[in-house]
Every structure is written in structure tokens, then in C-alpha cells.
Structure 1
Amino acid sequence: MTIALREARDAFETVAADLSAFLDARTDEDLLARSRCRGWVVADVLAHLHLGLSEMITGFAYRVDAPPDTDFLTYWSGYPEPDPDAAVGQIRFARLLASAYGRPTGLLDHFRPTLEAVRRFVAQADDGCVRFQGHVLPLGDFVATWVVEIVVHHLDVLVELPGPTPDLTLAVRTLDGLRGEGDRPADWDDVTYVLAGSGRIPGPKGYPLLG
């Protein structure tokens, strides 16, 4: 199963524009608000996501002719079991990184141009494969994984702050592919599904689905 580059590109532009609008409305006080991620305020989540987007840029530099060994579903299902000790280090690292700025909004001066650079890379990309984190992915699938990453972290920062829900279409499609279409509690809306699928709230056996 794979995602066409055009579909992934359109989805990425939608969620990136949503995130950009969210960032433009933020104050120092906003970035100190609680998030859904244990141990992190909003600024910490954004510091973590900024590192991820920077890493995404390096993916575009590693175009390869090798056949793909991973798609937008197996990328998530192939994650190793989380290491609690490593998780504590990652939590602390993001907090220390975000706190290094004189004001919380100083982080946004780095985040915004990185996000805009990634939007350009995605908009100008053509078909092919990239090597990323030891995998070879078709470019559409590579972009699709980052659509899901952005959506989940966008939901993370909406606990205490106002803002519209990001477009969940591709995140829901990913979860359906991992779990099976229709295999979710009937009373769950898409937000609940994505939050449970990403481990933000408890779910039934087999959840979370995203590494």
C-alpha cells in the first residue's frame, strides 16, 4: 500500500498551513501552556517537532535508486518497543532545548523558517525514493508519515489553547490501515481515534498503533 505523492503533497500543505496559522497566534504565555505529552509544555512539543522537521529536510537529500522496503503503514508498525529510560532522556532534552531561548517565542523564530523550507521541499518534490532512518520509502509515503507526525503534535498543543482541529484525513487513513477499517469503537470521533491511536488517551487492546 502506498500514498501517491500528489495526495501526500496536498495533505502536507493543508496541515502545514494549519500549523503555521496556529504559530502566528501564539504568545510567550501560550507556549507555557500544558500539552498532551507527559512532562512537556507547548514550547517543548514545538522544540521536538522542530527537530523532526529539520530531520525531514535531510531526507530529501538522500534520494536513492533502491526499491522501497517501507511504506506509510509499515513505517509505523516497524517501530521498536519504547525504551522508558530513553524516553526520559528525550523528554528532558526537548525541555532543555526549549528553555534555552530567552523568551519562549524565540523558538518560533527558528521554527517558522524551517516549516516554510519543508513546505518548499514538499511542493517541489518529484517521484522517487528516499532513504530515511534506515528505511527506503517512496517519496509520497515519506511525506505522508510527516503529515501524521504534524497532526498528532498539533493535537498535543490544543489542550489549553484555542484553535481549529487539524485535518485528520490522512492520520485516520493510516490508523485504518494499521488496525483495519471499521475496527474502532463506534462512539469514537476522528479526534478520539487519533488520540487513542497515538497513545495520548487509553484505547482497547492493540492500541496505540503509532510508534
Structure 2
Amino acid sequence: MTTLETAAAARTLRAAYETASAVVADLDDEESWRPTGCTGWAVRDLVLHCLQDAQRGLVALHTPADEPTDRDAVTYWRDWRPGSAGAANGRRWARVSASMFLDFGQLRELYLETLAAVVHAARAADPARRVATQGHVLTSGDLITTLAVEATVHHLDLTVGLPLAPGPSPEGLAAVRTTLDGLLGTAAPPEWSDAHYARVGTGRTPLTDVERAALGPAADRFPLFG
């Protein structure tokens, strides 16, 4: 990834994190118990999960690797499939851990300051540096893109029970679409909005019969990640 591409990735992450932060910044304790698009998770559970992903990104951006890259911004997601035992365990862990914050304001402030730190680190990242995370090696630019994709998909989840909250950034949604197209191996139907594609591509919304017919055999590959 070139310096220019990494700068674009950093801008995409900043847009994704700023819009997500705008949702969380004004939430009160009562709102933190509202449901989300993630099965079994309230808003506070999802905020904790997103905080942990940002923390992982911050560590990864400062964890240089000597090994060659084995993942990029698209192939990174091939390991993440819904319905696995690991996914179920992760959901339970987040639910229990988030409940330990008796004051949601503490979790909210930790989330906001961590996302701001990741944005700063992404902007300063060396585009040629290989970094390690979750047993894989990516370039810093590809890592930054995966963080933006994760934040954008979960932004859609976060606002399910918050109908007045702002939606995800256009830049983040475009990154999700590019990622899903890469996993699919072709472009999705152009009439699909970015948000709809994000939901069906990650299993949040099932494909309709009409959509399955339009996709043909490729429909059996959905969800592409989750």
C-alpha cells in the first residue's frame, strides 16, 4: 500500500470513528441498555467490544513484524465467520465484562479517548511497516482499513435501538462495500445501498428470494463475513 493509500485509509478510519463517537458521546445509562443488531448484546456490550477492537488496533500499530504479510484488508475477514463456538464465547465475555461498568460514563469516556488515540496513531503510521495482529501480518494501511470496516458495520448494529442517532460515515460504508466485493469476487448488484449490502453481506439481514436469484450460485457464500 502506498503512502497516498495509507493516508486515505487513515482518513476513512477517522471518519468512521468520528461518526461512531458522535453516537456514543451523548448516550446515558438508560440508553446503554437498549438492544443492538448483535444478538444478545445491549448498546454497552457493543461499545465494549468496539473499544476492545480499537485497543487491539492501537497495539497492532505499534507491533512491527518481521514476517511477510499473509493477509490484506480483504483476506483478513476470511477467518471471521458467524456461528462458531469462538463467536458465541466472545458474545458472553463481552456481556459479562460490560456489566461490570456500574457507571456507563466510565466506559463511554474510555471508548472515546481510545478511538481518538487510534486515529492519531493511524495518521502517523508508516505505510510500509508490517504489523502483527491476531496471528496474522498485514501492512499498517490494510490494518487501518479493517478497523474502519469493523467500526462501520458495528455502527449499523449500534443504532438499531437508537433511531435518532446519526448513521455511519459514507467513507466507512464505501470501505465495507469494497471489502465485501473483494470477498465475493465481483460487484454486488448496483441497486443495493451500501448499508443494505453491509447488512446482508455480514448476515445481519437475510437475502430475499429475489436477491438470491440475482446473485445465482454466489448467494450460497453469504454471509461473506460476520
Shift of 1:24: 1.5
1:157-176 matched pairs, under 5 angstroms: 157-161=158-162, 162-167=164-169, 168-176=173-181
- 2:212 is aligned with 1:208: no
* Deviation by residue 1:176-204 (Cα, 9 ceiling, x = unmatched): 111134334x5422111001111111134
Query: What is aligned with 1:193?
Result: 197
Task: Indicate conservation of the 8 Å contact 1:31/1:105, yes or no.
Answer: no
| Residues 122/98 of structure 1: CA separation in 2 closer, same or farther (3 Å cut) | same
Equivalent residue letter for 2:87: A
State the AA in 2 paired with 1:209. Answer: L
Deviation at 1:61, TM superposition (A): 2.0
Structure 1 residue 96: Cα displacement: 1.0
The equivalences for 1:111-122 within 5 A come to 111-122=111-122
AA aligned opposite 2:105: T
Is 1:101 the equivalent of 2:101?
yes
Bigger fraction of residues in helix: 2
- Residue 151 of structure 1: aligned partner: 152
User: In the alignment, is the contact (CA less than 8 A) between 2:73 and 2:145 conserved in 1?
Assistant: yes
State which drifts further: 132-141 or 103-112.
103-112
Q: 1:81 and 1:148, CA in 2 relative to 1: closer, same or farther beyond 3 A?
A: closer
- Tell me: CA distance 1:17–1:97, structure 2 relative to 1, closer, same or farther (3 Å): same
CA distance in 1, matches of 2:81, 2:15: 31
User: 1:81/1:111 Cα in 2 relative to 1: closer, same or farther (>3 Å)?
Assistant: closer
State the Cα distance separating 1:66 from its structure 2 match: 3.3
SS in 1 for 2:131: strand
2:65 pairs with 1:60: no
Give RMSD over aligned pairs: 2.0
One-letter amino acid of the counterpart of residue 191, structure 1: A
Structure 2 unmatched ranges of 5 or more:
208-218
* 2:75 aligned partner: 74
Contact 2:80 2:225 (C-alpha < 8 Å) held by counterparts: no
Show CA shifts across 1:12-40 (max 9, x none). Answer: 11111111111122111211111001100
Distance 1:202 1:150 in 2: 21
Provide the TM-score with structure 2 as the length reference.
Answer: 0.85
